[in-house]
Protein backbone atom coordinates (compact mmCIF):
# COMPACT_ATOMS: atom_id res chain seq x y z
CA UNK A 1 0.00 0.00 0.00
CA UNK A 2 2.73 2.45 1.00
CA UNK A 3 4.79 1.43 -2.03
CA UNK A 4 1.85 2.21 -4.34
CA UNK A 5 1.40 5.65 -2.79
CA UNK A 6 5.11 6.44 -3.16
CA UNK A 7 5.11 5.28 -6.80
CA UNK A 8 2.03 7.35 -7.55
CA UNK A 9 3.61 10.44 -6.04
CA UNK A 10 6.95 10.27 -7.80
CA UNK A 11 5.52 9.19 -11.19
CA UNK A 12 3.34 12.30 -11.25
CA UNK A 13 5.10 14.94 -13.41
CA UNK A 14 3.16 17.82 -11.85
CA UNK A 15 3.99 16.68 -8.35
CA UNK A 16 7.67 16.21 -9.18
CA UNK A 17 7.74 19.75 -10.51
CA UNK A 18 6.25 21.11 -7.28
CA UNK A 19 8.71 19.16 -5.15
CA UNK A 20 11.70 20.28 -7.26
CA UNK A 21 10.56 23.90 -7.03
CA UNK A 22 10.17 23.75 -3.24
CA UNK A 23 13.58 22.17 -2.74
CA UNK A 24 15.21 24.83 -4.93
CA UNK A 25 13.47 27.65 -3.06
CA UNK A 26 14.29 26.17 0.33
CA UNK A 27 17.95 25.35 -0.33
CA UNK A 28 19.19 27.97 -2.78
CA UNK A 29 19.70 30.57 -0.04
CA UNK A 30 22.79 30.03 2.12
CA UNK A 31 20.96 31.46 5.12
CA UNK A 32 18.16 28.93 4.68
CA UNK A 33 20.67 26.08 4.57
CA UNK A 34 22.21 27.43 7.76
CA UNK A 35 18.77 27.49 9.36
CA UNK A 36 18.07 23.92 8.35
CA UNK A 37 21.35 22.20 9.17
CA UNK A 38 23.51 24.43 11.39
CA UNK A 39 21.02 26.16 13.68
CA UNK A 40 19.71 22.85 15.08
CA UNK A 41 23.21 22.03 16.34
CA UNK A 42 23.60 25.49 17.88
CA UNK A 43 20.17 25.32 19.55
CA UNK A 44 20.86 21.82 20.81
CA UNK A 45 24.09 23.00 22.44
CA UNK A 46 22.60 26.15 24.00
CA UNK A 47 19.44 24.55 25.36
CA UNK A 48 21.20 21.37 26.45
CA UNK A 49 23.60 23.38 28.60
CA UNK A 50 21.25 26.08 29.87
CA UNK A 51 17.92 24.45 30.74
CA UNK A 52 17.01 23.05 34.14
CA UNK A 53 13.81 21.76 35.78
CA UNK A 54 12.23 21.60 39.21
CA UNK A 55 11.23 18.55 41.26
CA UNK A 56 7.71 17.83 42.45
CA UNK A 57 5.17 14.99 42.74
CA UNK A 58 7.62 12.09 42.54
CA UNK A 59 5.92 8.75 41.86
CA UNK A 60 7.36 6.29 44.37
CA UNK A 61 6.54 2.60 44.21
CA UNK A 62 6.89 0.12 47.09
CA UNK A 63 7.57 -3.59 46.78
CA UNK A 64 6.78 -5.33 50.07
CA UNK A 65 4.65 -8.11 51.51
CA UNK A 66 1.06 -7.19 52.47
CA UNK A 67 1.65 -8.14 56.13
CA UNK A 68 4.89 -6.16 56.52
CA UNK A 69 3.87 -3.60 59.16
CA UNK A 70 7.14 -1.63 59.23
CA UNK A 71 7.20 -1.32 55.42
CA UNK A 72 3.61 -0.04 55.46
CA UNK A 73 4.46 2.57 58.08
CA UNK A 74 7.50 3.66 56.09
CA UNK A 75 5.41 3.94 52.90
CA UNK A 76 2.81 6.03 54.73
CA UNK A 77 5.59 8.29 56.02
CA UNK A 78 6.90 8.80 52.47
CA UNK A 79 3.52 9.72 51.02
CA UNK A 80 2.69 11.96 53.97
CA UNK A 81 5.82 14.02 53.28
CA UNK A 82 4.17 15.65 50.20
CA UNK A 83 7.27 14.85 48.18
CA UNK A 84 5.93 11.57 46.84
CA UNK A 85 2.70 10.36 45.29
CA UNK A 86 1.47 6.83 44.71
CA UNK A 87 2.05 5.51 41.19
CA UNK A 88 -0.43 3.67 39.05
CA UNK A 89 -0.69 -0.01 39.93
CA UNK A 90 1.19 -2.40 37.64
CA UNK A 91 1.57 -6.15 37.31
CA UNK A 92 5.27 -6.01 36.38
CA UNK A 93 8.32 -6.11 38.61
CA UNK A 94 10.19 -3.12 39.99
CA UNK A 95 12.28 -2.64 36.83
CA UNK A 96 9.19 -2.81 34.62
CA UNK A 97 7.51 -0.24 36.83
CA UNK A 98 10.25 2.25 36.04
CA UNK A 99 10.81 1.28 32.40
CA UNK A 100 7.15 1.79 31.58
CA UNK A 101 7.26 5.26 33.15
CA UNK A 102 4.66 4.43 35.82
CA UNK A 103 7.10 5.22 38.63
CA UNK A 104 10.06 7.54 39.07
CA UNK A 105 11.54 5.32 41.78
CA UNK A 106 10.79 2.03 43.53
CA UNK A 107 11.75 1.14 47.10
CA UNK A 108 12.30 -2.62 47.39
CA UNK A 109 12.02 -4.33 50.77
CA UNK A 110 14.41 -7.26 51.43
CA UNK A 111 13.07 -10.83 51.09
CA UNK A 112 11.17 -11.93 54.17
CA UNK A 113 9.92 -8.43 54.94
CA UNK A 114 11.35 -5.32 56.56
CA UNK A 115 9.93 -6.17 59.96
CA UNK A 116 11.80 -9.46 60.10
CA UNK A 117 15.03 -8.09 58.62
CA UNK A 118 15.16 -5.29 61.22
CA UNK A 119 14.80 -7.83 64.00
CA UNK A 120 17.76 -9.67 62.51
CA UNK A 121 19.75 -6.42 62.20
CA UNK A 122 19.70 -6.51 58.41
CA UNK A 123 17.21 -3.78 57.49
CA UNK A 124 18.72 -3.09 54.08
CA UNK A 125 16.45 -1.42 51.50
CA UNK A 126 17.10 -1.05 47.79
CA UNK A 127 16.05 2.11 45.97
CA UNK A 128 15.72 1.91 42.19
CA UNK A 129 15.79 5.38 40.67
CA UNK A 130 14.93 6.44 37.14
CA UNK A 131 17.82 8.82 36.46
CA UNK A 132 16.83 9.87 32.96
CA UNK A 133 15.99 13.12 34.73
CA UNK A 134 19.14 13.61 36.81
CA UNK A 135 17.80 16.43 38.98
CA UNK A 136 14.72 14.42 39.85
CA UNK A 137 16.87 11.37 40.64
CA UNK A 138 19.09 13.30 43.05
CA UNK A 139 16.04 14.65 44.82
CA UNK A 140 14.51 11.19 45.14
CA UNK A 141 17.63 9.83 46.82
CA UNK A 142 17.90 12.81 49.18
CA UNK A 143 14.22 12.72 50.11
CA UNK A 144 14.22 8.99 50.86
CA UNK A 145 17.38 9.30 52.94
CA UNK A 146 15.84 12.12 54.99
CA UNK A 147 12.62 10.16 55.56
CA UNK A 148 14.55 7.09 56.70
CA UNK A 149 16.62 9.14 59.15
CA UNK A 150 13.50 10.83 60.54
CA UNK A 151 11.67 7.50 60.81
CA UNK A 152 14.57 5.93 62.70
CA UNK A 153 14.67 8.81 65.19
CA UNK A 154 10.95 8.54 65.82
CA UNK A 155 10.87 4.77 66.27
CA UNK A 156 14.14 3.90 68.03
CA UNK A 157 13.63 3.69 71.79
CA UNK A 158 17.15 2.70 72.76
CA UNK A 159 20.65 3.59 71.64
CA UNK A 160 21.68 -0.05 71.29
CA UNK A 161 20.90 -0.19 67.59
CA UNK A 162 20.13 3.31 66.31
CA UNK A 163 20.81 2.49 62.64
CA UNK A 164 17.89 0.23 61.85
CA UNK A 165 17.99 0.81 58.08
CA UNK A 166 20.58 1.01 55.37
CA UNK A 167 19.73 2.18 51.86
CA UNK A 168 21.29 0.69 48.75
CA UNK A 169 20.66 3.15 45.90
CA UNK A 170 20.74 1.86 42.34
CA UNK A 171 20.61 4.53 39.63
CA UNK A 172 19.04 3.40 36.36
CA UNK A 173 19.32 4.70 32.77
CA UNK A 174 21.56 7.66 33.67
CA UNK A 175 24.26 6.45 36.12
CA UNK A 176 26.25 9.68 35.88
CA UNK A 177 23.04 11.67 36.59
CA UNK A 178 23.69 14.30 33.93
CA UNK A 179 20.84 16.72 33.32
CA UNK A 180 21.68 17.01 29.62
CA UNK A 181 20.78 13.35 29.06
CA UNK A 182 17.19 14.16 30.05
CA UNK A 183 16.93 17.57 28.41
CA UNK A 184 18.60 16.92 25.05
CA UNK A 185 15.85 14.61 23.67
CA UNK A 186 13.34 17.31 24.57
CA UNK A 187 15.40 19.91 22.76
CA UNK A 188 15.47 17.63 19.70
CA UNK A 189 11.66 17.68 19.67
CA UNK A 190 11.61 21.47 19.96
CA UNK A 191 14.01 21.90 17.05
CA UNK A 192 12.11 19.54 14.73
CA UNK A 193 8.82 21.20 15.60
CA UNK A 194 10.23 24.69 15.08
CA UNK A 195 11.76 23.91 11.70
CA UNK A 196 8.86 22.01 10.17
CA UNK A 197 6.04 24.29 11.32
CA UNK A 198 7.74 27.59 10.52
CA UNK A 199 9.12 26.52 7.13
CA UNK A 200 5.90 24.87 5.97
CA UNK A 201 3.69 27.76 7.04
CA UNK A 202 5.95 30.28 5.31
CA UNK A 203 6.10 28.26 2.08
CA UNK A 204 2.42 28.77 1.18
CA UNK A 205 2.33 32.26 2.67
CA UNK A 206 5.21 33.19 0.36
CA UNK A 207 3.10 32.23 -2.67
CA UNK A 208 0.36 34.58 -1.48
CA UNK A 209 2.80 37.38 -0.73
CA UNK A 210 4.52 37.37 -4.15
CA UNK A 211 1.25 36.85 -6.03
CA UNK A 212 1.81 33.37 -7.45
CA UNK A 213 -0.95 31.72 -5.39
CA UNK A 214 -3.53 32.81 -7.98
CA UNK A 215 -1.49 31.03 -10.63
CA UNK A 216 -1.70 27.81 -8.61
CA UNK A 217 -5.45 28.18 -8.34
CA UNK A 218 -5.93 28.71 -12.08
CA UNK A 219 -3.49 25.94 -13.09
CA UNK A 220 -4.94 22.58 -14.24
CA UNK A 221 -3.74 20.71 -11.14
CA UNK A 222 -5.66 18.97 -8.40
CA UNK A 223 -5.83 20.14 -4.82
CA UNK A 224 -3.98 17.16 -3.39
CA UNK A 225 -1.14 17.65 -5.88
CA UNK A 226 -0.62 21.24 -4.74
CA UNK A 227 -0.86 20.29 -1.08
CA UNK A 228 1.53 17.31 -1.32
CA UNK A 229 3.92 19.19 -3.58
CA UNK A 230 4.14 22.11 -1.15
CA UNK A 231 4.51 20.03 2.02
CA UNK A 232 6.40 16.85 1.08
CA UNK A 233 9.77 18.63 0.66
CA UNK A 234 9.58 19.98 4.21
CA UNK A 235 8.61 16.54 5.50
CA UNK A 236 11.73 15.14 3.80
CA UNK A 237 13.92 17.94 5.16
CA UNK A 238 12.55 17.27 8.66
CA UNK A 239 13.38 13.57 8.34
CA UNK A 240 16.90 14.45 7.18
CA UNK A 241 17.33 16.54 10.34
CA UNK A 242 16.32 13.63 12.60
CA UNK A 243 19.57 11.60 12.31
CA UNK A 244 21.60 14.82 12.30
CA UNK A 245 20.12 15.98 15.59
CA UNK A 246 20.25 12.55 17.24
CA UNK A 247 23.88 12.09 16.20
CA UNK A 248 24.73 15.51 17.65
CA UNK A 249 23.06 14.60 20.94
CA UNK A 250 24.98 11.33 21.12
CA UNK A 251 28.36 12.82 20.17
CA UNK A 252 28.27 16.14 22.04
CA UNK A 253 26.26 15.17 25.15
CA UNK A 254 26.67 11.41 25.40
CA UNK A 255 22.95 10.68 25.11
CA UNK A 256 22.60 6.92 24.59
CA UNK A 257 20.49 5.16 21.97
CA UNK A 258 19.35 1.97 23.70
CA UNK A 259 16.24 1.25 21.63
CA UNK A 260 15.53 0.35 18.03
CA UNK A 261 16.28 2.89 15.32
CA UNK A 262 13.07 2.00 13.45
CA UNK A 263 11.00 3.08 16.47
CA UNK A 264 12.57 6.53 16.33
CA UNK A 265 12.15 6.66 12.54
CA UNK A 266 8.47 5.68 12.69
CA UNK A 267 7.58 8.07 15.51
CA UNK A 268 9.57 10.86 13.84
CA UNK A 269 7.72 10.38 10.55
CA UNK A 270 4.31 10.55 12.24
CA UNK A 271 5.34 13.54 14.35
CA UNK A 272 6.73 15.47 11.37
CA UNK A 273 3.60 14.67 9.36
CA UNK A 274 1.60 16.25 12.18
CA UNK A 275 3.74 19.38 12.45
CA UNK A 276 3.86 19.86 8.67
CA UNK A 277 0.05 19.63 8.61
CA UNK A 278 -0.16 22.19 11.42
CA UNK A 279 2.15 24.48 9.43
CA UNK A 280 -0.06 24.08 6.36
CA UNK A 281 -3.14 24.88 8.42
CA UNK A 282 -1.47 28.04 9.75
CA UNK A 283 -0.45 29.09 6.23
CA UNK A 284 -4.07 28.92 5.00
CA UNK A 285 -4.98 31.52 7.62
CA UNK A 286 -2.02 33.84 6.98
CA UNK A 287 -1.86 36.46 4.24
CA UNK A 288 1.91 36.91 4.29
CA UNK A 289 5.08 35.34 5.68
CA UNK A 290 5.12 37.59 8.74
CA UNK A 291 1.67 36.42 9.79
CA UNK A 292 2.64 32.81 9.11
CA UNK A 293 5.72 33.11 11.33
CA UNK A 294 3.72 34.72 14.13
CA UNK A 295 1.07 32.01 13.84
CA UNK A 296 3.76 29.37 14.11
CA UNK A 297 5.17 30.87 17.29
CA UNK A 298 1.67 31.27 18.76
CA UNK A 299 1.28 27.50 18.40
CA UNK A 300 4.82 26.64 19.48
CA UNK A 301 5.07 28.46 22.80
CA UNK A 302 2.08 26.83 24.56
CA UNK A 303 2.83 23.49 22.87
CA UNK A 304 6.36 23.46 24.29
CA UNK A 305 5.18 24.48 27.76
CA UNK A 306 2.51 21.74 27.78
CA UNK A 307 4.75 18.98 26.46
CA UNK A 308 6.84 18.02 29.49
CA UNK A 309 10.06 18.96 27.69
CA UNK A 310 11.24 21.40 30.33
CA UNK A 311 8.71 21.14 33.16
CA UNK A 312 7.14 17.90 34.49
CA UNK A 313 3.49 17.50 33.50
CA UNK A 314 2.76 16.25 37.03
CA UNK A 315 3.26 19.81 38.27
CA UNK A 316 0.45 21.20 36.12
CA UNK A 317 -3.13 21.82 37.26
CA UNK A 318 -5.70 19.26 36.14
CA UNK A 319 -7.34 21.78 33.79
CA UNK A 320 -4.12 22.30 31.84
CA UNK A 321 -3.37 18.57 31.70
CA UNK A 322 -6.45 18.12 29.50
CA UNK A 323 -4.81 20.18 26.75
CA UNK A 324 -1.62 18.10 26.86
CA UNK A 325 -3.50 15.16 25.31
CA UNK A 326 -3.95 17.27 22.14
CA UNK A 327 -0.25 18.12 21.99
CA UNK A 328 1.86 15.99 19.60
CA UNK A 329 5.06 17.21 21.30
CA UNK A 330 4.04 15.46 24.53
CA UNK A 331 3.78 12.07 22.83
CA UNK A 332 6.93 12.42 20.74
CA UNK A 333 9.17 13.49 23.61
CA UNK A 334 7.84 10.57 25.68
CA UNK A 335 8.69 8.11 22.89
CA UNK A 336 12.09 9.66 22.22
CA UNK A 337 13.17 9.58 25.86
CA UNK A 338 11.86 6.07 26.38
CA UNK A 339 13.56 4.65 23.28
CA UNK A 340 16.87 6.47 23.69
CA UNK A 341 17.27 6.17 27.45
CA UNK A 342 15.28 3.08 28.45
CA UNK A 343 15.45 0.85 25.39
CA UNK A 344 11.85 1.32 24.30
CA UNK A 345 9.06 -0.21 26.37
CA UNK A 346 6.52 -1.58 23.80
CA UNK A 347 3.46 -0.29 25.67
CA UNK A 348 4.91 3.22 26.01
CA UNK A 349 6.08 3.35 22.39
CA UNK A 350 2.93 2.05 20.73
CA UNK A 351 0.45 3.95 22.91
CA UNK A 352 2.18 7.25 22.19
CA UNK A 353 2.78 6.48 18.50
CA UNK A 354 -0.90 5.58 18.18
CA UNK A 355 -1.94 8.86 19.81
CA UNK A 356 0.37 10.76 17.45
CA UNK A 357 -1.12 8.90 14.46
CA UNK A 358 -4.61 10.03 15.47
CA UNK A 359 -3.42 13.63 15.82
CA UNK A 360 -1.58 13.39 12.49
CA UNK A 361 -4.72 12.14 10.73
CA UNK A 362 -6.80 14.92 12.28
CA UNK A 363 -4.23 17.58 11.38
CA UNK A 364 -3.96 16.27 7.79
CA UNK A 365 -7.75 16.32 7.38
CA UNK A 366 -8.10 19.83 8.81
CA UNK A 367 -5.25 21.23 6.71
CA UNK A 368 -6.62 19.60 3.53
CA UNK A 369 -10.14 20.86 4.20
CA UNK A 370 -8.94 24.39 4.98
CA UNK A 371 -6.58 24.39 1.98
CA UNK A 372 -9.41 23.26 -0.32
CA UNK A 373 -11.63 26.06 1.00
CA UNK A 374 -8.80 28.56 0.41
CA UNK A 375 -8.47 27.43 -3.22
CA UNK A 376 -12.23 27.77 -3.70
pLDDT 10s digits, 2-22: 666 666 666 666 666 666 766
**For residues 9 and 275, what is the distance between their CA atoms, to the nearest angstrom?**
21
Query: In angstroms, what CA-CA distances link 77 with 81, 82, 127, 164, 346?
Result: 6, 9, 16, 16, 34
Model pLDDT, residue 177: 63
Mean of pLDDT values over 221-233: 75
Which range (68-72, 153-157, 180-184, 311-315) has the least confidence?
Answer: 153-157
At the second CATH level, the architecture of 58-172 is: 3-Layer(aba) Sandwich (3.40)
Angle separating helix axes 2-10 and 13-27, nearest 10 degrees: 80
Model pLDDT, residue 76: 83
Mean of pLDDT values over 34-59: 61
Model pLDDT, residue 350: 93
* pLDDT band at 171; cut points 50, 70, 90: low
311 CB burial (10 A radius; 0-12, 13-18, 19+)? middle
Mean of pLDDT values over 185-208: 82
Helix, strand or coil, per DSSP, at residue 338: helix
Between residues 47 and 323, which one has the greater pLDDT? 323
Residue 200, C-beta contacts closer than 8 angstroms, at least 6 positions apart: 230, 231, 234, 275, 276, 279, 280, 283
Model pLDDT, residue 160: 40
* pLDDT band at 342; cut points 50, 70, 90: confident
Q: Percentage of the chain surpassing pLDDT 90?
A: 11
Which range (96-110, 112-126, 302-316, 336-350) has the least confidence?
Answer: 112-126
Model pLDDT, residue 252: 83
Which range (77-81, 193-197, 267-271) has the least confidence?
Answer: 77-81
Model pLDDT, residue 317: 73
Tell me which range, 29-33, 191-195, 199-203, is most confidently predicted by mean pLDDT.
191-195
Model pLDDT, residue 162: 45
Q: Indicate whether this model's pTM tops 0.85.
A: no
Mean pLDDT (the chain, rounded):
76
Model pLDDT, residue 87: 81
Mean of pLDDT values over 268-286: 88
Which range (13-27, 150-164, 316-330) has the least confidence?
Answer: 150-164
Mean of pLDDT values over 99-120: 74
Strand-by-strand arrangement of the 105-108 sheet: 84-85, 58-63, 105-108, 124-130, 166-172
Model pLDDT, residue 356: 93
Residue 230 and residue 22 in contact, taking contact as beta carbons nearer than 8 Å: yes
Mean of pLDDT values over 299-316: 78
Between residues 30 and 338, which one has the greater pLDDT? 338
Which range (32-41, 176-185, 198-207, 337-346) has the least confidence?
Answer: 32-41
Extents of the domains making up the chain: 2-37+179-375, 58-172
Helix, strand or coil, per DSSP, at residue 223: helix
What is the greatest pairwise CA distance in the chain?
92
Amino acid sequence: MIQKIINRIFKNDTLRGFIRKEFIQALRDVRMRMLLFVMPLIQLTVFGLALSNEVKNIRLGFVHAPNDIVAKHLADRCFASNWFIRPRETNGDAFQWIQSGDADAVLVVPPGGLTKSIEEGKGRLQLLVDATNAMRARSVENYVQRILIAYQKDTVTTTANPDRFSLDVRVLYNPSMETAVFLVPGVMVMILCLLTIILTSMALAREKEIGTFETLISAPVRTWEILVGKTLPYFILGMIDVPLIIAAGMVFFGVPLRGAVWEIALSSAIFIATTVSVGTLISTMAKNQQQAMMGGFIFLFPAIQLSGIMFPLDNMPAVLKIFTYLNPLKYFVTVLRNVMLKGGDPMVVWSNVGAMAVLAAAALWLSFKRFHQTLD
